[in-house]
Chains A and B, each alone.
Chain A
Amino acid sequence: MILAGLFLSAPACADLVVIAHPKSGAEQLSKEQVVNIFLGRFRQFPSGIAAEPIDQAATSSEKAVFYQRLVGKELAEINAYWARLVFSGRTQPPRQAASAAQVLEMVAANPGAIGYIERPKNESRVKIVFDVEK
C-alpha cells in the first residue's frame, strides 16, 4: 500500500474534463472557479445556481490526477486541507461517488452538480465546462 502510494500516485489520465448540467448556466469555468467550487471556497455557478461538487472515489486515479493538475497537491494534502475545514466546523468536502459512471449520472440528473471524468464521447446530458490540462 505504502509503496503503491509512493510510486503509483499519479498514473497517466489521458484527458480529464469537468462536467456540469446543461441547466447550470455555465458555458465555461475558469480554473479559479473550479478551484473555488471543489475546495469549498465559493460554491456557486456564475449563473447563481448553487454548485455541488462530486469527487471520484478516494482510491481512483482520476481523483489523484484531478487535484494534482488543478492545484498541484497530493491526496494526503487535500485530506489535510479538508481536515482543517471540517474539524473547524466550516465547509464539507465534496460528496464522493463510487465510480466515474456514477459521477456522470449524478451530474446528468442535477442542475447544481459538477464533477470530473475522462472526456465523455457522444454525451449530451452533460456539458464540458473546463479542461483539466496536464
Chain B
Amino acid sequence: MQRTQRTTATSPVAPAFALRGFGTLAAARSSSDQAEFVRDLSQPRGLSSGEWSGRTDSVLGLQANWQATPELDLVAQAVSRYRYDASYRPELVWGFAKWDPNAHLSLRAGRLGTEFYMRADSRLVGYSQLAVRPPPDYFGALPFAHIDGADASATLPVGGILLRGKLFAGISTEKVPLADRLWDLDGSTMAGGHVDLQAGPWLFRLGHAALRFKHDLPAPAATVITALSATAVPSAIAAASALGVRNTESRFTSAGVVYDEGPLQVQLMFNRTQHESTTFQNSTGGYLLAGYRVNRFTPYAGWSRVISTPKSLATGLPNVPPLSQINAGVAGVLADSRSNQHTTTLGVRWDVRDNIAIKLQGDAIRGTPESIFPYRWEKAGWNGQTNVVTFSMDFIF
C-alpha cells in the first residue's frame, strides 16, 4: 500500500492518485435444506440444498483515492457482491470528500459506509478480518451498507490513552429483499455515534445509532395491514397502525472491547436492538472471537448468540373465518422477526502471502425452529439447526 505524496523535498515517486482493491473468493455449504443461510439480510437467497455456493461471501471491491491537498482526500469505492436484486451489479459503497484540518479532527461528506457497530463499515473486506465473515448472529440483521450524509471524528490523547468520538448522519438509498419483494429504505434517515477508548492493545467502544424508516414493509405485511384496516374495527385499525413501519424508529446500542497485541486478538461485543414498530422483535446479540497466530497460521474460535423477544398484538377480531385469516396473518408477521440461536465457530486463517489469506471455517448453528429471522426461504421442516462450512481466499491489491 503506497501512500500519496505530501510536500517533501526528497520523496519517493508516489502519485497523489492511488487505486487499490480487495476481494474474497469463497465457497460455502450449509447442511440444512430447510432454510437458506445468508451472511446478512441484504441477500435475497442463501445457501440451499447442501450445494456449494460462492454467493454469500464472494466480493470484489475497487477503491480510488485522490489526495488533492495534504488535508483533502477524495475517495470512491465500488463493490460487486451478491446483492438485494440477486445480481452482482457493482455499486458505489463509498464516495466522499474527507477533510482533516488537523490531527484531531476528520470530517467526511458524501456516500459513507455505515458504522452501526464496531467494524461494521469494513465488514466486506474479508482480508481485514480474522474469520470468514462477521458473525451473522451479531451483524446479520444489518442490511444497511451506506448512507448519503456526513460524519465527524475527533481524537484526543489523554496521557497514554486515546479518546475518539464520531458522529454521523445521513439518508439511505438502499433496498432490502424480503421474500420475493423489496423493501425500499430510500429516504430513511440514520444518525448515530460512538465513543472509543484506546489504551495500548485495548480498544473499548460504546455506540448508538437510530434509523427512521421512510417506507412501510411490502407484502405480506402490507397485505395484513390493509386487511386489518378494511375491517373498520377500531382495535384492528389500531393493530394495523402498530404494525406500520413507516416513520418508526429502530435503535441500535452496542458495546465492544477488542484486545490486539502480538499473536493474540480477542473481540467481545454486545448489542441491543429496539424497534418502535410492533412488526420487529427487539433483540440482544453478542459474540466472542479469539485467535492466536502461530507463524503464518491463526486458528480461531468464536461463539455468538442472538435472541429476540416476541411481541404480542391484539386485533380484537374474533377467531372465526374469514377474520381468523387476518389474525393468522398478524401472527405470521410477528413471528417473522424471531431470532433465538447460538453459533459455535472454529476456523483457521493461513496468511499465504502478505496480501493473501486462505481460511477454512466451520459454524455450528443451534437454534429453535422459530428462529427464522436470520434466514431466507425457510420451510416447514426447519428445526433451527444447521452446520456451515466455508473455504475462502481473501486478497488485497
Within 8 A of A (CB), among B343-392: 351-355, 357
Is B296 a contact partner of A95 (Cβ separation < 8 A)?
Answer: no
Residue among B8, B61, B354 making CB contact with A106, cutoff 8 Å: B8
Residue among A44, A52, A83 making CB contact with B22, cutoff 8 Å: A83
Residues of chain A lying within 8 A (CB to CB) of residue B296:
5-6, 74, 76
CB-based A-B contact count at 8 angstroms: 140
Residues of chain A lying within 8 A (CB to CB) of residue B6:
52, 95, 112
Is B125 a contact partner of A83 (Cβ separation < 8 A)?
Answer: yes
CA distance A16 to B1 in the complex (A): 22
Nearest CB of chain B from residue A52's CB, rounded to whole Å: 6
Nearest CB of chain A from residue B260's CB, rounded to whole Å: 8
Q: What residue of chain A has the Cβ atom nearest to residue B98's Cβ? A: A89
Residues of chain A lying within 8 A (CB to CB) of residue B104:
44
Is B128 a contact partner of A72 (Cβ separation < 8 A)?
Answer: no
List A residues at the B interface (Cβ < 8 Å). 1-2, 5-6, 30, 32, 36, 41-44, 50-52, 58, 71-77, 79-90, 92-98, 102, 105-106, 108-110, 112-113
- Contact (A79, B119) CB under 8 Å given A89-B98, A92-B3: no
CA distance A72 to B201 in the complex (A): 11
CA distance A42 to B61 in the complex (A): 27
Residues of chain A lying within 8 A (CB to CB) of residue B353:
1-2, 5, 76
Residues of chain B lying within 8 A (CB to CB) of residue A83:
22, 122, 125, 127-128, 396
Residue among B67, B113, B261, B355 making CB contact with A71, cutoff 8 Å: B261
Q: What residue of chain A has the Cβ atom nearest to residue B8's Cβ? A: A110
Nearest CB of chain A from residue B322's CB, rounded to whole Å: 52
CA distance A90 to B121 in the complex (A): 10
Is A89 a contact partner of B1 (Cβ separation < 8 A)?
Answer: no
CA distance A28 to B386 in the complex (A): 56
Within 8 A of A (CB), among B225-239: none
Residues of chain A lying within 8 A (CB to CB) of residue B50:
none
**Chain A to chain B contacts (Cβ below 8 Å), 7 pairs:** A5-B354, A83-B122, A86-B20, A87-B122, A92-B4, A95-B2, A102-B12
Q: A79-B354, A95-B4, A110-B8 are in contact. List 9 more A-B contacts (CB 8 A).
A: A5-B296, A6-B295, A44-B103, A80-B127, A85-B122, A95-B12, A96-B2, A96-B12, A96-B14
Is B261 a contact partner of A95 (Cβ separation < 8 A)?
Answer: no
Nearest CB of chain A from residue B346's CB, rounded to whole Å: 20
Residue among B102, B128, B155 making CB contact with A50, cutoff 8 Å: B102
Q: B96 at the A/B interface (Cβ < 8 Å)?
A: yes
Q: B53 at the A/B interface (Cβ < 8 Å)?
A: no
Nearest CB of chain B from residue A70's CB, rounded to whole Å: 11
Is A41 a contact partner of B357 (Cβ separation < 8 A)?
Answer: no
